[in-house]
Amino acid sequence: MIMTLIAYVISFGMTFFLMPSWIRHAIKIKLVGRDMHKTETQMIPEAGGVIVLTAITVSLLYYAGIQAFFLHHEHSLSVIFGSIASLLLVGGIGFMDDFGGWKRGLKQWQKPLLTLPAAIPFLMVNLHRTTMDFPFIGVKDIGLLFPLLFIPVAIVGASNAFNMLAGYNGLEAGMGMIILGTLSILSYFNGEYLAVVFCLIGFFALFAFITFNWYPSKIFPGDTMTYPIGAFIAICAILGMVEKFALILFIPYYLDFLLPLRKRMKVEAFAKINSDGSFETPYDSIYDSTHLVIFVLKKFKNRVDEKDVVLTILGFEFLLAIFCTISALL
């Protein structure tokens, strides 16, 4: 138990203590971007996900050592290394996009195509599993469709979806913490303790990161974090056999995909900023989840700012987390 707790300490500690060095380095190499939700022109270091991804990877490698030398769980080793391989491949794609620059990186259609091969390592170590717990209809044996179809779709879909609801200080890290924290509880109920460890390693890395990313942000996560964290959530859900709850927790992301379709994806999630820093909806209609939140909040208060939007979305996600937890107990 103590050795497992050390994995969480590594995840939190590496992120917390290495992030200031990355912030300085990103500024030095001019890997910065404008904070679009501030009235002043403020350039913020990008790609903080480099440190988050490194911390999660090192923590998983440490835990693999525990499995190998103390518990002698050979199957767990293959799952851990397969997960790390998929995670690093997705992270590499995000890193390429970050270094390409905003609107100059990978094209939108290239991202799902490139993340598809990244699912292969995790897919290969889960070929034995053929059942899935579907919402409303329960557990069904779908044969090889689970590893060969569902796992790639889950990793590609989650990595790309998690990248969509983003761009506001603390939003991505906060959503990741709530989702992974909830999946850790649900996986514990299922007796899937490896998934619990995975979830908590990710949770503590994001917990450390959000101390730098909360309003006003000192570092942006970049695609280097959003893509692998999305994939990591899919991996954790599959390992914990809690796929149906992960689908519920991703409801805000479905909405964030469907709303821009009304404008053929030719819209941006950024809000319109007034001179006093308050927010307005940027279009004549609602084309993003964040715009919907701004529209609703404006019905109840005169001034809506970035923290209002982020806290509202996180609050809604927390309600989904409570719903999933209660449903699992019934």
Q: Which residues, in sequence order, are bridge partners of residue 32? A: 45
**Whether pLDDT at 188 is above 80:** yes
**Whether pLDDT at 292 is above 60:** yes
**Whether pLDDT at 51 is above 60:** yes
Output the pLDDT for position 102: 54
- Interatomic CA distance for residues 206 and 48, integer angstroms: 11
Report residue 139's pLDDT band, with 50, 70 and 90 as the boundaries: confident
- Interatomic CA distance for residues 248 and 182, integer angstroms: 11
Residue with tokens 């290394």: 81
What's the residue count for the chain? 330
Report residue 86's pLDDT band, with 50, 70 and 90 as the boundaries: very high
pLDDT tens digit sequence for 16-40:
999 999 999 999 999 998 888 887 7
- Interatomic CA distance for residues 98 and 78, integer angstroms: 30
Among 109-113, 157-161, 204-208, 237-241, the range scoring the smallest mean pLDDT is: 109-113
Output the pLDDT for position 69: 85
Output the pLDDT for position 105: 57
**Whether pLDDT at 136 is above 80:** no
Pick 14 or 67 by higher pLDDT: 14
Instruction: Give CB contacts under 8 A, 24+ apart, made by 147-151.
Output: 147/123, 148/123, 150/243, 151/119, 151/122, 151/123, 151/126, 151/234, 151/238
Average pLDDT over residues 295-314: 93
- Give me the chain's average pLDDT, please: 91
Output the pLDDT for position 217: 93
Residue 298's contacts (CB-CB under 8 Å, 6 or more residues apart) are 280, 281, 304
For residues 235 and 45, the answer to whether their CB atoms sit within 8 Å is no
Among 228-232, 260-264, 319-323, 326-330, the range scoring the smallest mean pLDDT is: 260-264
Listed by start position, the domains of the chain span 2-244
**Whether pLDDT at 171 is above 80:** yes
Whether pTM > 0.85 for this model: the answer is yes
Output the pLDDT for position 238: 96
